[in-house]
Amino acid sequence: MDIIKGKVIVLGDDVDTDQILPGYAMAEPMDQLGNFAMAGLAGLDFKSVFEPGSIIVAGRNFGCGSSREQAPIALKQVGVSLVMAKGFARIFRRNSINIGMPVWVADIADSLKTGDTVEVDLEKGTVTVGGEARQFAPLSENVLKTLEYGGLIPRVRAELGIKD
């Protein structure tokens, strides 16, 4: 997997799926969910700080709340390149990986501010800020392989030799 470089948007703890993708957006066509990414977030106009390739950095329990798979789909559609957090709700983390959206446990939110640029190597487990690298546990080989295929279904189809 390549190096991910982008500007960060720093959020706090307990960002739930209703903030990531509000319930009213569930009535929208699946290919339009990105238009509603982070629309339920109070205290920050996400669209004013977001640019394609942005990296969301958060505290503990990112993606808590309902188990809707559409929340990580919205983040991927809008162009979020990575979510780093101190911790994730288990089902949000799994849903993200299954759809090919990189998520990574890295407790770094306290040392960054919105607008900082970071460089992330998920294979090595490093976050570089201003030339200084910090080390965290890298993603497992299995997760990296699933992300390389763009998600679980494309990976399984490829490994079984199933053509589109």
Structural domains for the chain? 4-159 (3.20.19.10)
Half-sphere exposure of 118 (CA within 13 A, CB side): 29
Give the predicted TM-score (pTM) of the model. 0.95
Identify the helix (H) or strand (E) that includes residue 8.
strand 4-10
What is the mean pLDDT for each group of 10 consecutive residues in the chain (164 residues)?
Answer: 93 97 95 96 92 98 94 98 98 97 97 97 96 96 97 96 87
